[in-house]
Structure 1
Amino acid sequence: MAKTNLLNTRTINFLELLGNGRFYRVPPYQRDYSWSEEQWEDLWNDIQELRDKRDDSHYMGALVVEGKTDREFLIIDGQQRLATLSILALVVIAKLREMADREVDPEGNRERASGLRNRFVGEKDPASLIESSKLFLNETDNAFYQDYLVQLKKPLNPRGLCNSNKLLWDCFQYFSSQINKVPEFDSKGNVLAELLSETIARQLMFILITVDNELNAYTVFETLNARGLELSSTDLLKNYLFSRIKVSGDLEALQRRWRSLIATVQQERFPEFLRYHLQCDKPKVRSQRLFKLVRGEVKTAEGVFALMDNLEKRAELFSAILDVQHGYWIERPECKPFIRELNLFQARQMMPLLFAAWERFDAQDFARILRIVSVISFRYSIVSHLNPNALEIAYHQAAKAVLTNSAASPREVFQVLKSIYVPDDKLEQDFYRLAFKTNSQRKKLAKYILAQLECDASGRACDPETDPASVEHILPENPTSEWEEAFPPESWERAVERLGNLTLLEPAVNRSLGNAPYTAKVTAYGRSIYEITRQIEDIAPEQWTPDLLDLRQQQLAKRAVHLWQVDFS
């Protein structure tokens, strides 16, 4: 096969896909069969609709394969669809054989079954008389598929099958039951054969994307994934790593360790985890180049196991940083507030530094690092909305400094991170403009900020997770005409969402006030248990105006500067 092109793309139907002696293999350690009745039913309904529309076709999506020879292909993406359609073909063949056994056009139906099997499933070996296959599934599923489904044999103990084998058998039974519900399929072999040879074979269309190596497969994955197609970069990375192992004992060991690793970090998060792990050593690791980087560095079985060793050391911490309830924090309760904040801020770029700090610092200093990155994240991302690209470079430099002992304390780490620490004057200016749409996820963020300001103002604890306070809009979200005199209507939309227009209030009081005029609201504010709310009466005793909103937000901004502060003086 030519190796000069990145890929070859063409539209192809199911019949062409399996024609000319082609056969397809699912890489041994790709994920198991997972389709269930929801997907089978959708496919069956689509096929049934096509039977009445002979000139129509149905698009089955992109099928990505890696060409090993002109006839042999590895399935990079699309194994669930190919396996399901192959099982449906086997169901049709089994039904034709059953009709022949019932003496329903026995000669014709046996000939139809034989022809369809040769075309869509595989030919019978003339020596062993064993049915061959055009499709080979992964390590978990292939033996069951070849020994039972391809041979049209019922498993002796279906309940004892592993999950994916049971799904394969359930798929066979599902399509069998659907075919048995159509009366003409029970008596007219030509009509049933036509379901497979015409409707399924010619009207189900794929975009076949053929690549010539693993790297190009990953590149295609990135391109397609950017357009919303569901492929798994974890599967591609996994397949490459397993392809480096040649000894069966090593394969078994790697499989056990891989399953444990994925159970810890989760399938969909593995590329992110791997990227942050590599960023401990490299300044820029883009998602699009992740596969190329791994392929360039990991070329042998020894390299695969060395990578696994390092990943396993950091996997549990990665999981813990994304989960404030993780067991790691039971013995380190001082870390929990910062873990909660980092997840609220959706901060991830600091991960390489946290890997390094966990490995080199004691528990007390690790908690200090958490506070530093939480404060930096708040100032940089939440308040100032600066470019996140600079964060990854700075956190790589800090991680590298920790791992090489050139930054041996939180103070020294902070010096490395100074470039992403927003200066006080800029923080105050940006905080003055801070606004939130509180009908979205950002409502939690608004309450967090107000609760922190309340803690600072009152000197008492105010946990945004457990405190019952609701977020009150001083100028209501839907102002009435009574507000027009003090607050010009043209400024309502912008003013409602500003932080200076928000405060904490007892839920019952908030409900009772509703869209009440300011004179009623300010009286209730003065009796509130929340200090930042009581202070509103001092700022605006009679009416709420744009100027007074500005004044309050200025005061809150000054408080924020010293509240979200890293100070080693």
Structure 2
Amino acid sequence: MDARKGNIYEILNGNKQFLIPVYQRYYSWDIEQCKRLWCDIVEMQKKGKVGHFVGSIVNIAEQAMPTGVQKYMIIDGQQRMTTLTLLLIALRDYALENTEDTTINARRIDNMLLKNEYENNDEQYKLLLTETDRDVLISLVEKKPISDNTRSRLIDNYNFFAEKIASKELLPANVYQSIGKLQIVNITLDRSMDDAQAIFESLNSTGKELSESDLIRNYVLMGLEPAEQRFVYEHFWRPMELLFVYETQDSVMDRFFRDYLTMKSTRIPKQDRVYEEFKLYHLNCEFSTIRELCQDLYTNARYYTDMVFKRSSISALKSLYEDINDLRMEVSYPFLLKVHNDYSRFPLVLK
């Protein structure tokens, strides 16, 4: 393990790329976290502080290549790293749109902090997010048009920073200077010696920063070999996530896992113990592989989201789901999941 104190400029400088693995949650910081970061920057500058600690970034270095990009898989810290990247994009765009202000070097930000200047395709980007957010961040870096109906916290937070910079509460040059004063501990793990899963859990042991479903995703996918990890993510986990409505994804997925475990174990886990209960279930479940377990999760998530979001092409079921929601009978979901599973094995005709 190698731990070094630095700032985002030192971390991003060089022919590097930081990757968010598929088992990590999507970008989840909202305007409130961005406001706190902005207030820290303003206070630090106005009070003449020499620095402000904003947390750590924990990563695993991929095998070094003699030439090309050195890649790092981020285990913890993608939220602050992505947010600082959005702030840098907003600063660069301000400089591009206000060419009379020469205090910000847009080309320097672009080629040293957002991109690897001499690389092509995905390797040209300093930060590469998961599928959920990747295209949006690349579009912001490249200044490509983004559809008006695209829902993304990345866009909301970029707009927040762009408005703050335009307001000149701080001069843009002072914003750039203050970002460099934000202190970050960059921790690089040794893949052969450090237990990434144990470190991840210790960093998030309070359960406050990550949802139960975030922790379960990490547990399920992190330990798989890369090829199997990609297969399980693309065929089961990602399609399962897409079943849930974007705005309420975390909370409803947490409820799904709790109700799924209730159906499987016939006892109700405590709300703050779903992750721990899931690990116990996995050790003793009927599935011999993670792939089989995730296939079952995906199947039951389809049943669950149909009930929660009142989806069905069968009029009788759709009407039933509407009644359950109107009467707030969520307590019936574990039982109804079992009914759906039984029906899938012994189907009857429904109209």
TM over 0.5: yes
Structure 2 gaps of 5+ residues are 65-69, 244-252, 259-270, 305-328, 339-351
Mapping for residues 317-328 of structure 1, pairs under 5 Å: 325-327=331-333
Q: Please list the CA deviations of residues 172-217 of structure 1 after superposition, one character each: whole Å capped at 9, or x if unmatched.
A: 11111111111774xxxxxx23422x2102x111222222339711
Residue type at the aligned position of 1:307: L
- 2:107 pairs with one of 107, 114, 123: 114
| Counterpart Cα distance in 2 of 1:152 and 1:324 | 44
- How far off is 1:247 after superposition? 7.1
In 1, Cα distance between equivalents of 2:195 and 2:233: 27
Looking at structure 2, the residues matched to 281 and 30 of structure 1 have their Cα atoms a distance apart, in angstroms, of 24
Task: Give the C-alpha shift of residue 18 in structure 1.
Answer: 0.9
Residue matched to 1:233: 215
Report matched runs for 1:129-144 at 5 Å.
Answer: 132-144=124-136
Q: Letter of the aligned partner of 1:46 in structure 2?
A: D
For residue 183 of structure 2, the aligned residue among 186, 192, 205 is 205
Any conservation in 2 of the 1:245–1:251 contact (CA below 8 Å)?
no
- 1:297-351 deviations in whole A, cap 9, x for unaligned? 98xxxx332233566799999xxxxx99224569x9xxxxxxxxxxxxxxxxxxx
Larger radius of gyration: 1
State the identity as a percent: 25
1:82 shift after superposition: 0.8
User: Structure 1 245/213 Cα, relative in aligned 2: closer, same or farther at 3 Å?
Assistant: same
Any unmatched runs of 5+ in structure 1? 1-6, 186-191, 283-296, 318-322, 333-569
Among 208, 220, 223, the alignment partner of 2:199 is 220
Equivalent residue number for residue 162 of structure 2: 176
Given the superposition, is the C-alpha separation of residues 216 and 252 from structure 1 closer, same or farther in structure 2, using an over 3 Å criterion?
same
* Contact 2:236-2:294 within 8 A present in 1 as well: no
Once the two structures are superposed, the pairs formed by residues 360-375 of structure 1 within 5 Å of their partners are none
- AA at the equivalent of 2:293: L
The answer for the alignment partner of 2:27 in structure 1 is: 33
Instruction: Select the residue among 147, 150, 162 that pairs with 2:141.
Output: 150
**Partner of residue 193 from structure 1, selected from 173, 182, 186:** 173
SS of 1:65's partner is strand
Counterpart Cα distance in 2 of 1:243 and 1:262: 26
- Structure 1 residues 169, 268: CA separation in 2 closer, same or farther (over 3 Å shift)? farther
In the aligned structure 1, how far is the partner of 2:12 from the partner of 2:30?
Answer: 24
Structure 1 pair 56–66 and aligned structure 2 pair: CA distance change class (3 A): same
Question: Any idea what SS the aligned residue of 1:64 has?
Answer: strand
Find the counterpart in structure 1 of residue 228 from structure 2. Answer: 245
Note the aligned Cα RMSD (angstroms).
Answer: 4.0
Contact 2:24 2:217 in 1 (8 A): yes
Distance 1:96 1:18, change over 3 A: same
Q: Is contact 1:221-1:233 (8 Å) kept? A: no
- Any conservation in 1 of the 2:22–2:233 contact (CA below 8 Å)? no
Provide the rounded CA distance (Å) in 2 between the counterparts of 1:13 and 1:140: 27
Q: Distance in 2 between matches of 1:126 and 1:21?
A: 9
- 1:21 matched to 2:20? The reply is no
Q: Which amino acid aligns with 1:120?
A: L
Aligned amino acid, residue 224 of structure 1: L
Secondary structure of 1:326's aligned partner: helix
User: Corresponding residue for 1:42?
Assistant: 36
Task: Check the 8 A contact 1:10/1:209 in 2, yes or no.
Answer: yes
Compute the displacement of 1:225 (Å).
Answer: 3.5
Cα distance in 1, alignment partners of residues 296 and 228 from structure 2:
18
Deviation of the 1:90 alpha carbon: 0.7
Q: d(CA) in 2 for partners of 1:248 and 1:309?
A: 11
Alignment-derived partner of residue 555 in structure 1:
none
> 2-side partners of 1:281 and 1:253: how far apart?
18
State the shift of 1:13 in Å: 1.5
Give, in angstroms, the shift of residue 278 of structure 1: 3.8
Alpha-carbon distance in structure 2 between the residues aligned to 1:184 and 1:46: 12
Q: Alpha carbons of 1:53 and 1:248: their partners in 2 closer, same or farther (altered >3 Å)?
A: same
Q: C-alpha displacement at 1:152, in angstroms? A: 2.3
- Higher RCO (C-alpha under 8 Å, 6+ residues apart): 2
